[in-house]
Amino acid sequence: MWTENLRWNPIPVLLGTDDKALIYYTERDLLSLDNESAEKLWNFPIARKILSRQRSDGSWFYKGIRPGDEFGEAYELLETWKTLRVLVEMFGFNRSHPAISHSAEFIFSYQTGGGDIRGILSNQYMPYYMGAILEILIKAGYEKDERVEKGIKWLLNKRQEDGGWISPLLLHKMKDYYRLCTQPPIEPQRDMPFSHMVTGMVIRAFTAHPCYKKTPEAKYVGKLLKGRFFQKDVYTSRKAESYWFKFQFPFWWTSLLTVMDSLMRMEFSKQDEDIQKGLKWLIENQSEDGLWKASYGKSGEAIQDYWTTYAVCRVLKYFLD
């Protein structure tokens, strides 16, 4: 088994938690056991508590500080995407549940005529959030929706000459951020090199899609990303090499884990030299308790370590089994 390549077998640790949703996914995805539908997770207390906070327009309210309200930042759009990540990835929700379809319509209400979903960065393009939002909508069952198709075509139209993506606003200094948010969208400078932080989030929309993950464009971006393993980003506030090793689940920012997950979904070979480097790092950085540590979340929130470990194990199982 793939676990024989590891120093410590993480499966007993995952099965030993009190998190029944995590146990369900561990049995289904890591042990390949026949399992009943994920719909049984929909009535779990945590899921019901999340659903109880949904507002009448399909959104979830953002409780943090809101410095960009006067500049048109859509905090509820961000919070709704964050919440959908949990419902879809950890509790198996899909568009057949009215809460999901309602929240999807809220998100689509921010789609422009050009196809991009805009608002988290006020009036500016946000290719990285666009990719991450489409990823969750596709996983929720919207892969055939014409609005998703329109969004993917917008992303393809905004590529750099090298095939990746940048976020034009992030090329400017933070002190100019709110001034620029009131301006027309800044167009990408196509001759500049791609940002792997941005591109790693964009590609997740493609790799979640049953058709687009097989396209030459997606495979080419996969090659670009694996060629950047462990390097500094060209720009953005998440420039240091250390961001490759900051993990979380459900996914948000680009990391070694998110890119390896995308390469897995595009069926890259485990014989690939860059993938071997990624596997080596994952194997060597397992903790003695059998887990891989999450880098985000509240201090001492161990459940994040367990879910992050589950996500790492999906990748290892695919490439090592």
Domain ranges of the chain: 37-285
The third-level CATH classification (topology) of the domain covering 37-285 is Glycosyltransferase (1.50.10)
The yes-or-no verdict on residue 301 having pLDDT over 70 is: no
Long-range contact pairs involving 171-177 (C-beta distance under 8 Å, separation at least 24): 171/235, 174/237
C-beta of residue 138 within 8 angstroms of C-beta of residue 125: no
Longest dimension (CA), the chain: 55
pTM (2 decimals)?
0.96
C-beta of residue 152 within 8 angstroms of C-beta of residue 124: no
The yes-or-no verdict on residue 35 having pLDDT over 90 is: no
Q: How far apart are CA 28 and CA 33, in angstroms?
A: 5
Per-residue pLDDT band for 119 (boundaries 50, 70, 90) equals very high
Both tokens of 74, joined, read 């859509």
Q: How far apart are CA 228 and CA 207, in angstroms?
A: 18
Per-residue pLDDT band for 174 (boundaries 50, 70, 90) equals confident
Q: How distant, in Å, are the alpha carbons of 27, 141, 226, 245 from that of 32?
A: 6, 22, 28, 28
Per-residue pLDDT band for 175 (boundaries 50, 70, 90) equals confident
How high is the pLDDT of residue 218? 98
Nearest alpha carbon to residue 292 among 223, 12, 283, 155 = 283
The whole-number average pLDDT for the span 295-307 is 78
Residues 69-100 pLDDT 10s:
999 999 999 999 999 999 999 999 999 999 99
**DSSP at 38:** G
